[in-house]
Structure 1
Amino acid sequence: MSATLGLADLTQSLLDGAYETELWSTFLSQLSAATNSDFAILLCQPPGWRQDDALQLIWGDARIEESKDIHRRHFVSRDPNSGDTTSEATPYSLRDLIEQDQGEHTAFYTELTQVHGVSDIRQIRVREPSGVDAWLTIVRKVGAFDRDVDRLLEQLAPFLRGVLRNYVTLQRESFTASLASEAIRRLQFGWLALDRNGKVVDCDDVGSVLLQRSGMLGRSGAGRLKIADANTEKAILDSIRVMSTSVEAQPRAVSLSRDPWLDMLLVPAPRRFIGTIGKPVVVAYIHGDSWRIADRCGQLIDLFRLTKSEARLALELCRGRSIAEAADDLGLQVETARGYSKKIYAKIGARGQADLVRILMGSVLALAPDIERLPR
C-alpha cells in the first residue's frame, strides 16, 4: 500500500466529497492511489432500489455504463450487493465474494477475471439509519491486496457511514425544500431576507425577478431594498429596525401596488442564519399577481359571463376586501355593490364570499404564470 496518503487525507476528502461537482472524485482517486488500485467504485443504494437506479461513482480504468451492463447481464433475479449476505464494515476479497456466492453467478466472476483481467477486489459495506447502503469497492488487475488495505478500509468505515448519513439527510431536505419552493412559487409567493439596515442578503427566484423587473421594488447600489413609493419605503425600513431590536415585534403587512396587485408581509426572521450572506433579521414575503386588473377582469368575464363591473367587484372580493371596502375602492354605493355581489354569486354558483374565493382559487385563474411573466 502507498504511504503517500494516510487516513487523515482520505477522511478529509471523504468528508468534502459530497460538495464536489463530481461527487467524491478526489476521495476515490486518492483511495485508488493509496491502495495501488486500478479503479475504485462507490455505490449508494437505498433499500428496494435496483443498482441501475442507485448512485454509482467510478474512478479509474472503468466506465459506469460498462459496470451496469455487466450487472444487468448476470444479476437479474438477485442483487449481488444485498446487505443480507455481507457483514457491515467487513472487507471482502474477491475470493470471499466467490465463496459466498456459492456458484450462483459463476459466469459473472469468470468474466471479471478472464475477460476484464481482475486479479483481486476489496469491498466493504456500511448502512446509515434509514437503510441506505454504501458499497466501497477497489479493484486490482495485477497482484493482490494485503492486510494493510483491509485495515485502511476498516478505519474508513465509520467515517463513510457518517458521511452517507449526512448525504442522505441533505438529499432528503433538498428534495423537500424543492417541493416547498415550487408550491410557494405556484401560489405566487416570493421572499427577501433583509438585514437591520434593509439590505437584501438573500432571496428566492421570484423575489429576485421582482427586484430586477417589477418597477415597484428594487435594490440600491449598496444592496438596500428600494421601494417606488418613498413613504412606503420609510415605513418598511422603520418596521425592520423595530423588528431587529424587539423580540415582541409583530408582523406587518404592506400594500406595494394595487394594479398589478402586490403585497408584502414583514416578519422577524425565525432564527439567525450562520453563513456568509449576512445577518437577516426580517423576512419579507411578497405575494401578488403578474396580471393587471384589466386582464383578470377579462378572464372573469370569459369564464363566468360577468359584466365588467361585476368582474372588478369579484376580483376585489377574492382579494379579501369587504363589500364596503371594495365599493369605496371602485367608487360604488355600498347597496350597488351588494346588488352586484348577489349577481356574481348566482353566476359563479357561490354561496358567499368564502365560497367565491374557493371557486375562483380552484379555477384556472389560480394557475400561477411563470416568473418570466412578472411585470417589467
Structure 2
Amino acid sequence: MAFLSSDQRELYLPLMEGLLEDPPWQRFLASLLQRTGARRAALALARPGEAGSTFTVRADAARAAQDPPLDFARLAALGLFPGTAMRPGRVYTLGEMLDFDAPARIEAQRAALGTMRINHARAVRIGTPGTAEAWLLLTREREDLGAADSALLAALAPHLAAALRVRAALGLAEARAAMAESTLALLGAGEIAFTSGGQVLAADREAERLLAFTAEPGPLRRLQLLPEPTRALEAACSALAGAAPHARRLVALGPRQILLRPATPAPASAASAPAVIGLVRAEAAMMSAAAPEILATAHGLSPREAALAVALAQGETILAAGQRLGLTPETARNYSKRLYAKTGTSGQAQLVRLVLTGLAPLA
C-alpha cells in the first residue's frame, strides 16, 4: 500500500506522538476511525507478566456513543479478539474468527457480538508473545470493511509494533526511575540533573519539595538562589562536567547544601544528557511508622525493643526514648542491653549503625 502525505499527518505522526499520551494512542485511534469510517476503533494492550490481562484504549464514532462497551475479556474467552491464535501482522475478518464447527460456541460468539453491535470487523495482532503485544480492532454494524481497510491495518502493523517496543522500553525506564526516586524520598533525599552551566534538566519530587526553582522560558530552569550561591553552583557544575567519577563538590545554597558529582556518561546519541547530578536532603529524615515492625521481624525484637532501637537511631537518648515509650529509666536500660544481645552489637553506636544500614529506614 502506497503511503500518502495524509497518512503521514493523520496516522503515523499521531502514532509516534501517542507514546506520550495517557492513555496512549487516543488521537491515533480517532484518526484511524475517521479514515476508515468504522464505528469503533480499539487497541487492546497486553499487561506484561499478567497472562490474559489487557487494558483497552478506544475511539467511538458519534453514532456509537450509546453503544455498550467493548468487553475484550468476554470476546477473548469466546475465541474472538484478542486471540493468541491470530498470527502477528495478518489482518483477520470476523468470519475467520467464528467457530462454525461448534454450533453452541458460535451461538455464544454471535450473541456476544450482537450485544456489542459488532456485525463486521477487521483485526490484527501486533508484536510477539513475551514482548510488547497488542490487538488492533475496527468494527462496523451495518456495512463491511473493505480491502483498503485491511491493507491499511497491514501497513500500520509494523509501525505499531515498533511503537509498542519503544513504549515498553519507556515503561521500564520509568519504573526504574520511580523505584529510585521513591527510595530516595524515604531517606528525605532528592536529586537534580544539571547541565555544565548549572541549568536544571530534571528534578525529582523530593528535590522539587526541598528547593525553589525559577520559571524560565523553555525546557531548562535554574535554582532560585541569591547571586553568590548561584555563581558557586555554576562554577562547581562547570568544574565537575567530565571530571573523574569520584569527584565531589559541596555547595551551600543558603540554609541548605547540595552535594554535586559528575553524571554517569550517557550514550553519544543521547539528546539531553546531564553533566552533573546534585543531591539534597531534608534536615531530619524520620523513619516511618513501619520501621519498628521491620526491625522487630529482622532481629526477633519485641515491639517496645524495636521502638527503642529506632528512637536511638534517630538521635534520642536511652532515657528520653524510654520515657516517651512509658518505660522507667531502669527498664529502658535493661531493654537496651537486650537489644545489644539480640542484635549482636556491643553498644549503642553499633546498634545505631545496624539500624541505619538495614532496611528499617526504607520501610
Determine the structure 2 residue equivalent to 1:13. Answer: 14
Take 2:48 and 2:356, find their aligned partners in 1: how far apart are those partners?
43
> What TM-score do the two structures reach when normalised by structure 2?
0.69
> What TM-score do the two structures reach when normalised by structure 1?
0.67
Cα deviation digits, residues 340-374 of structure 1 (max 9, x gap): xxx9985852336455311355596x368xxxxxx
Determine the structure 2 residue equivalent to 1:351. Answer: 346
- 3-state SS in 2 of match to 1:67: coil
- 3-state SS in 2 of match to 1:57: strand
2:280 equivalent among 286, 289, 310: 286
What are structure 1's unaligned runs of at least 5 residues? 213-217, 307-342, 369-376
Contact 1:185/1:206 (<8 A) preserved: yes
2:247 equivalent among 242, 245, 251: 251
| Equivalent residue letter for 1:226 | L
Take 2:174 and 2:113, find their aligned partners in 1: how far apart are those partners?
41
Determine the structure 1 residue equivalent to 2:70. Answer: 67
Structure 2 CA distance for partners of 1:169 and 1:79, relative to 1, 3 Å: farther
Contact 1:38/1:141 (<8 A) preserved: yes
What are structure 2's unaligned runs of at least 5 residues? 287-312, 325-333
Q: Does 1:55 align with 2:52?
A: no
Determine the structure 2 residue equivalent to 1:147. Answer: 147
| Equivalent residue letter for 2:28 | F
Alignment of 1:330-369 (within 5 A): 349=340, 350-351=345-346, 353-360=349-356, 362=358, 366=361
Determine the structure 2 residue equivalent to 1:314. Answer: none
Alignment of 1:1-376 (within 5 A): 6-8=6-8, 9-46=10-47, 49=50, 53-60=53-60, 61=64, 66-68=69-71, 71-72=73-74, 81-83=82-84, 85-99=85-99, 102-103=102-103, 105-112=105-112, 114-128=114-128, 130-212=130-212, 223-224=222-223, 226=225, 236-244=233-241, 247-248=243-244, 250-252=246-248, 254=250, 264-271=258-265, 274-275=271-272, 280-290=274-284, 296-298=314-316, 301-303=319-321, 349=340, 350-351=345-346, 353-360=349-356, 362=358, 366=361
Determine the structure 1 residue equivalent to 2:331. Answer: none
Contact 1:120/1:143 (<8 A) preserved: yes
Structure 2 CA distance for partners of 1:102 and 1:142, relative to 1, 3 Å: same
Structure 2 CA distance for partners of 1:171 and 1:64, relative to 1, 3 Å: farther
Contact 2:78/2:105 (<8 A) preserved: no
Cα deviation digits, residues 57-81 of structure 1 (max 9, x gap): 121126897323x744x76587853
Measure how far apart 1:150 and its partner are: 1.5
Contact 2:200/2:222 (<8 A) preserved: yes
Contact 2:80/2:97 (<8 A) preserved: no
The count of residues paired between Structure 1 and Structure 2 equals 311
Cα deviation digits, residues 317-348 of structure 1 (max 9, x gap): xxxxxxxxxxxxxxxxxxxxxxxxxx998585
Take 2:162 and 2:38, find their aligned partners in 1: how far apart are those partners?
24
Asked which structure has the greater CA Rg, the reply is 1
Determine the structure 1 residue equivalent to 2:308. Answer: none
- 3-state SS in 1 of match to 2:143: coil
Measure how far apart 1:118 and its partner are: 2.9
Contact 2:67/2:116 (<8 A) preserved: no
Take 1:254 and 1:347, find their aligned partners in 2: how far apart are those partners?
40
